Amino acid sequence: MALLESDVPIREVVTTDPEKAKALENDVRAKILDMLVDKEMTIGEIHAELARRGEEKAETTVRHHVNVLKDAGMVEIARLEEAGGGTRKYYKSNTRVFSYDLPDDAGEELALAQATATDELESLVETLYAEHGDEIEEVAQEMKPCEYCETQHYEEFILRELLNRSLIELSEDGTLDDLL
């Protein structure tokens, strides 16, 4: 006889590639991404800002963390400047990490908004498949299996990526700021 039996629904979905997941294993890297989202910074500036935030790291360690993020495709060199016979690199994040917890009562407060979103998304998914189903299926067939998963959900991943990329586009062009 089971001591506890419970239906556990999916409450979170994390979509990222394995390289990005490994890069985010260290919380200092998430802090670096946060710092570089709105401002280009050199390794020295990142080092100083981390210290201000209570992370005492050697500058070589900071450089290592930035290189891990760069190798994962989450940070890019934004510009180069000549400086004292050398080249100064400025880094910028192309990735925003949200790491929040909703308040405990948010589910109740947002229930109607979630119902509206669900209805609208259902309609959107129907439209996407009606107009672009062949392209979605074609991309899904080209995808490599998730190294962590036995069951693959390629089409769901593609839909989540499309929604995420669309939100990013609206954020980057200022539309979300105008609406919110």
CATH no. for residue 82?
1.10.10.10
- Helix locations, 13-100, DSSP H: 18-23, 27-38, 43-52, 59-71
2: left (phi over 0), alpha (psi -120 to 50) or beta: beta
Kindly report the pTM of this predicted structure: 0.77
Q: For residue 3, give the DSSP letter.
A: S
Residue at which a domain ends, from 43, 68, 93: 93
Give the pLDDT band of residue 98 (cuts 50, 70, 90). confident
Domain enclosing residue 48, as ranges: 18-93
Confidence band, pLDDT 50/70/90 cuts, at residue 144: confident
Q: Residue 136: pLDDT above 70?
A: yes
Residue 178, CA distances (Å) to 96, 126, 131, 171 in order: 19, 27, 29, 9
* Rg, the chain, Cα only: 21
Joined tokens for residue 7: 């239906």
